[in-house]
Amino acid sequence: MRAIQFHQFGSPDELFIGEFPTPEPSEYQIRIRVKATALNRADLLQREGRYPPPAGESPILGLEIAGEVEKLGSKVQKWKIGDRVCGLLASGGYAEYAVIHEDMAMPIPNNLDFVAAAAIPEAFLTAFQALVWIAKLQAGESILIHAGASGVGTAALQLARLIGAKAYVTASAEKHAICKSLGAEHCIDYKTEDFAQRIQILTEGRGVDVVLDFLGASYLEGNLQALGMDGRMALLAVMGGAQATGINLGMVLMKRLKIQGSTLRARTLDYKTALTHAFVEMAWAHFASGQLFPVVDCVFPWDNVAEAHLYMEANRNQGKIVLSLQPLIYSGKPSG
């Protein structure tokens, strides 16, 4: 098969499409003929040599796929050849074929094409894990979502709305419109405003119940200030640094705060299948009805993968960036 690979760790220029052994499904796996995959920050980090795949997983980039079932493992019972599925991978998505455990695959709703379906797994499963399993967000509560226009941010906004929570977001000013369209109560321009101060004003000093953060050290003090009594923070990345100094931990004590970090890629198969099943049970009917939907910023032909990586590195996207392995009628936003 053909797959996107890289000559050595480094810039997007190292990426190329070349021959790679086609994976064979184990007894409980299905092999997917990939029609589309989507970019994630983890792909950029892996390309740079800073986020290797879990032991035993494919060295190929790509954490999510959409396509058709092409081959069944000997004990697979849930799928048949030709079924349209999408799913979360530990790696291997940037390829013509990928294998996935049958319990990790999700049926693509009839109203979604492969491009849209490829934008669901990582963003929505990550957001679902953070909001429902970690933070236990409830109806009537409030949440501050950082990077509100990112893939996970746009998914989290929709899930918060579905739960019945009030959502505040941080995003650059040009991305506020999409956040509001997805249900954000207020948008805070992180470039010109102090988000912690704005949250105190917007909530009349109560603070928010939940914070969803990807920045880490650079936002920690502000997050502690923004949280109200018994607040919870889900930390999913440390894009703003992993080492925090000069933080007043007295706020954690006085407000009875809970801070939990989590990654999804290295979780056990049992955990990820349980998460997938819980997510499908809660949300899948809402995708079919259109109440939930993946936000796709742009679509690149997969042989333009270097351009797609540069686009993400420039932080230009509002929603997901998708790579299509099929001929495109359109290719999304211009990348110039």
User: Picking from 46-60, 105-119, 316-330, which range would have the lowest pLDDT averaged per residue?
Assistant: 316-330
> Do 96 and 206 belong together in one domain?
no
Higher pLDDT, 293 or 328: 293
Q: What is the CATH number of the domain that holds 194?
A: 3.40.50.720
Residue 278 has pLDDT above 70, yes or no: yes
Q: What does the block give as tokens for 7? A: 């000559």
- pLDDT confidence of residue 334: 45
Does residue 32 sit within a domain? Answer: yes
CA-to-CA distance for 217 and 237, rounded, in angstroms? 10
pLDDT in tens, 28-41: 999 999 999 999 99
Domain containing residue 202: 124-261
pLDDT in tens, 156-191: 999 999 999 999 999 999 999 999 999 999 999 999
- pLDDT confidence of residue 235: 97
- pLDDT confidence of residue 83: 98
Average per-residue pLDDT for the chain: 96
CA-to-CA distance for 175 and 153, rounded, in angstroms? 11
Of residues 98, 141, 117, the one with CA closest to residue 231: 141
Residue type, 169: V
Within 92-175, residue ranges assigned H as helices are: 114-118, 121-128, 151-163
Total tally of structural domains belonging to the chain: 2
CA-to-CA distance for 98 and 85, rounded, in angstroms? 12
In this structure, are residues 36 and 64 in contact, taking their beta carbons and an 8 Å threshold?
no
CA angle, residues 173, 128, 155, in degrees to nearest 5: 30
Does residue 10 sit within a domain? Answer: yes
In this structure, are residues 135 and 158 in contact, taking their beta carbons and an 8 Å threshold?
no
> Do 253 and 149 belong together in one domain?
yes
Domain end call among 261, 279, 301: 261
What is the 8-class DSSP label of residue 164? T
In this structure, are residues 1 and 36 in contact, taking their beta carbons and an 8 Å threshold?
no
Q: What does the block give as tokens for 8? A: 């050595």
CA-to-CA distance for 210 and 232, rounded, in angstroms? 5
> Do 66 and 10 belong together in one domain?
yes
- pLDDT confidence of residue 330: 46
> Do 79 and 173 belong together in one domain?
no
> Do 92 and 114 belong together in one domain?
yes
Does residue 329 sit within a domain? Answer: no
> Do 135 and 245 belong together in one domain?
yes
Domain end call among 245, 261, 277: 261
Does residue 85 sit within a domain? Answer: yes
Provide the 3-class DSSP secondary structure of residue 79: coil
Helix axes 121-128, 151-163, angle to 10 degrees: 50
Does residue 192 sit within a domain? Answer: yes
Does residue 157 sit within a domain? Answer: yes
Residue type, 179: C
Does residue 241 sit within a domain? Answer: yes
Strands 97-101 and 29-38: antiparallel
> Do 89 and 196 belong together in one domain?
no
- pLDDT confidence of residue 333: 59
> Do 113 and 128 belong together in one domain?
no
Provide the 3-class DSSP secondary structure of residue 49: coil
In this structure, are residues 168 and 139 in contact, taking their beta carbons and an 8 Å threshold?
no
CA-to-CA distance for 227 and 205, rounded, in angstroms? 10
**How many other CB atoms are there within 10 angstroms of residue 196's CB atom?**
18
- pLDDT confidence of residue 328: 64
Concatenating the DSSP letter of every residue in 259-293 gives EEE--STTS-HHHHHHHHHHHHHHHHHHHHHTSS-
> Do 247 and 299 belong together in one domain?
no
- pLDDT confidence of residue 331: 47
CA-to-CA distance for 212 and 237, rounded, in angstroms? 10
Residue type, 227: L
Domain end call among 241, 261, 281: 261
> Do 245 and 129 belong together in one domain?
yes
- pLDDT confidence of residue 327: 78
Of residues 214, 112, 242, the one with CA closest to residue 156: 214
pLDDT in tens, 61-100: 999 999 999 999 999 999 999 999 999 999 999 999 999 9
Does residue 178 sit within a domain? Answer: yes
Q: What is the CATH number of the domain that holds 317?
A: 3.90.180.10
Of residues 94, 95, 82, 91, the one with CA closest to residue 30: 82
> Do 116 and 135 belong together in one domain?
no
**How many other CB atoms are there within 10 angstroms of residue 3's CB atom?**
26
Section 270-276 average pLDDT: 98
Q: Is the dihedral of CA 78, 81, 84, 88 positive or negative?
A: positive
Higher pLDDT, 333 or 170: 170
> Do 145 and 248 belong together in one domain?
yes
